[in-house]
Amino acid sequence: MPDPPRRLTALASALLLLHSAATPGVAQEPFRLRVLSYNINSGAGDDSRVDYDRITAAIRAAEPDVIALQEVDRGMVRTGNVDQARLLAGRLELEHAFGGNFEFLGGEFGNAVLSRFPIAEVSNHPLPSPDGGEPRGALEAILDPEDGPTFRLISTQLDHRRDERNRVAAAEWLASLADSPGASPAVLAGDLNAPPGSAPVDRLLERWTPLERGPLRTVPARGPRTQFDHILVAPAGRWRVVETRVLEQPDASDHLPVLAVLELVPASP
């Protein structure tokens, strides 16, 4: 049996370790995260055939922690009345949330989030569209990992038409989500229907930080020529980029998925 001084020393050491773990400003390990952004084209590849095995395999190959999906059907006749977000989440053993933007063919069309972390809260934001057209939205999910900090994932798709007015208006609105007072760090991922250097992307970069140093060509899926699919983060000081790349999955959709490996850095005291 240790003598009293040794017991006191052991107790003091344990208390010091607990204090260090709980004290702000003590160095902590960054939280690593694999993020996938994927426009799944309602599950249809460039052959126009809906194939859930292909989409599932393309997502699984990336081994993502969280996925931002666009062009997702729920209950539409054209895709067999399937709730695609629920189906894919079930196959991949992930949690999911769906945000419908408009009703079509007996169901809904919109964005989704899949996550291996608990989804604590979901908000589906309609995006401004001063020029009319198909309604667009941004699905914001607050994710609460048991082994890491809370963060937000926002999945979105902007207007596809040649005129940029809707995209610019939506980008200006999305900029406000970057660092809302009291909000947790965020990842914005989706099909912006706009390449780097365009007006909508430039508006977003006023408040969001891009991950790539150069264009990552994502469309068309076979022989891609430009980048419409983007992943951005905010605030810049909380995120460290480990890797960003386009995945060669030309059969499952008309877009290629983008994978980012990130580290969420502990907040400064």
pLDDT digits (tens, 9 = 90+) for 198-228: 999 999 999 999 997 778 999 999 999 999 9
Domains: count for the chain: 1
Secondary structure of 43-94 as H, E, C letters: HECCCCCECHHHHHHHHHHHCCCEEEEEEEEECCHHHCCCEHHHHHHHHHCC
CATH of the domain at 184: 3.60.10.10
Any domain includes 21: no
pLDDT in tens, 68-99: 999 999 999 999 999 999 999 999 999 999 99
Any domain includes 60: yes
Any domain includes 165: yes
Average pLDDT in the chain? 90
Residue 190 one-letter amino acid: G
pLDDT in tens, 123-156: 999 999 999 999 999 999 999 999 999 999 999 9
pLDDT > 60? residue 169: yes
- Grade residue 52 by pLDDT with cuts at 50, 70 and 90: very high
Cα–Cα–Cα angle for 46, 47, 52, rounded to 5 degrees = 85
Average pLDDT over residues 263-269: 88
Q: How far apart are CA 106 and CA 101, in angstroms?
A: 14
Tell me the residue range of the domain where 87 lies.
Answer: 29-264
Average pLDDT over residues 111-123: 98
Any domain includes 13: no
Q: How far apart are CA 117 and CA 121, in angstroms?
A: 12
Residue 50 one-letter amino acid: V
**What are 117's two structure tokens?**
């972390």
Any domain includes 11: no
Give the contacts of 228 (CB within 8 A, at least 6 positions apart): 39, 191, 192, 193, 194, 195, 218, 219, 255
For residue 171, the number of C-alpha atoms closer than 13 Å in the C-beta half-sphere is 24
